[in-house]
Amino acid sequence: MSAITTEGATISQTLIIDTIMPYSPSQKPIVAVNYNFPGPSIEAYENDTLVIRVINKLAQPTTVHWHGIFQIGTPDMDGAVGATQCAIPSSGEMTYRFRAYPAGTAWYHGHYLDQYADGLIGPLIIRRRVEPNQEQYDTERVLTVSDWYNDVARTKLLSWYLSKNNTKGIEPIPDAIVVNGKFSQSLFVKTSGATRIRFRIINAAAFSMYTVSIDGLPLHIIELDQTPVVPYTVSSFMINAAQRVSFYVNLNEFDQNFVPPDVPPTKSIYIRFKADMDMYPVDISSCIAPYATPYLPYPVFLNPLYLAILSLDSSNSLPTYPVNQATSRLSNRDFVNRQDVNILGVRPFSQTNNLVPCATHFLNIVITFRRDSNNITRGFLNNVTYGSDENNLSNKSISVQSITSDKIPLLHQMITTPNALGNPSPIITNESPLPVIQSDGNGHYLVPYQAVVDIRLENKDEDEHPFHLHGHSFWIISTSENPQAKQRYRGAYIQPDVVSVPGSGWAKIRFLANNSGAWVFHCRIEWHMYAGLIFAFIVGPDELLAHGYTSSDNQKLLCQ
Ligand SMILES: [Cu+2]
């Protein structure tokens, strides 16, 4: 843990973005931060000021997004290329300065093309001076799980994914799972003598969703994304792309029956990350590596079960019991054995601070995938598919195939040419008794300042999609998997920044638009975002202008 700093300290850090090739003989260049993968953990206390100088040594432009940070008053520091800034050019740099708010397990990643899938990820831990549930644990460990691809996402996978050759529109299947930069059975997590340990799990994968468990131990969940929750005990949980889950374990609760009597006592146990195979476009379990599927241009060797080793002493020994022990023993556990993707049963720790306002506006978003007129399978939100080019959010719709981007980020347009944006205001329609948020057809939805917007995400696709809103968190009101949640948890919904929209189902979320700026809303599966599942909310442009907000000189330079 970092040393306690005084209230409102300034935390300065330099991040050098460059490529490394740490996994010889693999020749895959990883987009690393300070020559590490994942990047270094950035830590601060809530309300500290983070000053992060990002130096781009890549041959391509880059940006960094601080996932989970609201950026209230600093909308140009969000790092979403095209929405809030122009990209940092090769050999260029930018200093991000923002308030460390809200507290919780945040993370950072590249938001320029798919550098995130190529390695540009790292933890961003914002601590509270007093953590709810802090009496339950003595130390903590951060585990950042991500997909590993043998091929470079930017040059190979993405171009293949969005090509005519990909007739089925299937996503690149990862070749491996990697946690804290280590492959399966090579990551040793030391307890260092502690018996009560908090784990912060960050799913930084470009694609995969995982079931997380630790052999023989109940997991007491205490934080979802950045919302502290009343401890909620599970044997395993699912974590979707971009979600964060904190839980603590108490080694004294280890189920001794877990180790069969005929093996020596174990000095370590497995931490398991099991990829959800249902989301992959081919049946991994029926394949024997090495193999090649007829329509994949690259080999797939994925073992969906990743094993990290929790060392109970300093010996770094492997567990004495067989790996397949877990499945046979899970049903015998004496604690509650629940799995819940959205974990809607979890309650916020502080319910009095969590009175949910009534909605004032409504927006229905229909998610579909189909081929566009160029015969490329793309994702559509309300019949419009969006792409992100190097400097702007551009869009393609069924009727309009391309709109020339003017290379000025949305946020800058809000400041410099607000009248030219031409976003229609909300109107009453027969869709809802509430005024409905309107789109301008260019991927921009105008939201009045302080509006409380109910968004219904209607998923016509059979796969689950984790949607993320920048600049805000939101309440999950209910989903098709838990339609009663609205009544059951009235006034005490959890407030994450990612919602898993069930396949062929729906999710209803609500957010308070109290943060002026241009905020993207998108599927956090990297492939889907580039297939078009992204748009931007323009929140309170009048409020922004009324406060005389201007973007920094550094920002303006990037756009020249
Ligand atoms: Cu998706």
Other beta carbons within 10 Å of 154: 18
Q: What is the mean pLDDT of residues 218-226?
A: 93
Q: Write down the CATH number for the domain with range 351-558.
A: 2.60.40.420
d(CA 424, CA 426) in angstroms, rounded, equals 7
Query: Rounded to the nearest whole angstrom, what is the distance from the C-alpha of residue 542 to the centroid of ligand 1?
Result: 32
Q: Which amino acid is at 413?
A: Q
Is the CB of residue 234 less than 8 Å from the CB of residue 265?
no
Asked if residue 450 has pLDDT above 90, the reply is: yes
CA of 418 to the centre of ligand 1 (A): 31
Give CATH 2.60.40.420 domain extents, the chain: 10-130, 139-332, 351-558
**Amino acid 194: pLDDT:** 95
Q: How far is the CA of 192 from the centre of ligand 1 (A)?
A: 39
**CATH class (in words) of the domain with range 10-130:** mainly beta
Distance of CA 82 to the CA centre of its chain: 19
What's the DSSP call for residue 153? I
Q: What is the pLDDT of residue 291?
A: 39
How many CB atoms neighbour CB 10 within 10 A? Answer: 11
The whole-number average pLDDT for the span 268-283 is 87
Query: 139-332: which CATH architecture?
Result: Sandwich (2.60)
Report the separation in Å between the CA atom of 534 and the middle of ligand 1, taken as the mean of its atom positions.
10
Answer whether residue 551 shows pLDDT above 90.
Answer: no
Which pLDDT score is estimated for 553? Answer: 72
Q: How far is the CA of 558 from the centre of ligand 1 (A)?
A: 30
pLDDT score at 417: 81
Ligand 1: centre distance to CA 500 (Å) = 9
Q: How many CB atoms lie within 10 A of CB 487?
A: 8
Range with lowest mean pLDDT among 52-56, 321-325, 377-381, 427-431: 321-325
Is residue 17 pLDDT above 50, yes or no? yes
Whether the ω angle into residue 38 lies within 30 degrees of 0, i.e. cis, is yes
How many A from CA of 502 to the centre of ligand 1?
10
Q: What is the pLDDT of residue 396?
A: 43
Mean pLDDT of the chain: 85
Q: What is the pLDDT of residues 62-84, one digit of tens each?
A: 999 999 999 999 999 999 988 89
Q: For the segment 438-449, what is each residue's pLDDT rounded down to a tens digit?
A: 988 778 899 999
SS3 for 476-507, per residue?
EEEECCECCHHHHCCCCCCCCCEEEECCCCEE
Is the pLDDT at 457 greater than 70? The verdict is yes
Span from the CA of 185 to the centroid of ligand 1 (angstroms): 29
218 CA distance to ligand 1 middle (Å): 30
CA of 209 to the centre of ligand 1 (A): 11
d(CA 304, CA 208): 10
CA atoms within 13 A on the CB side of 99: 13
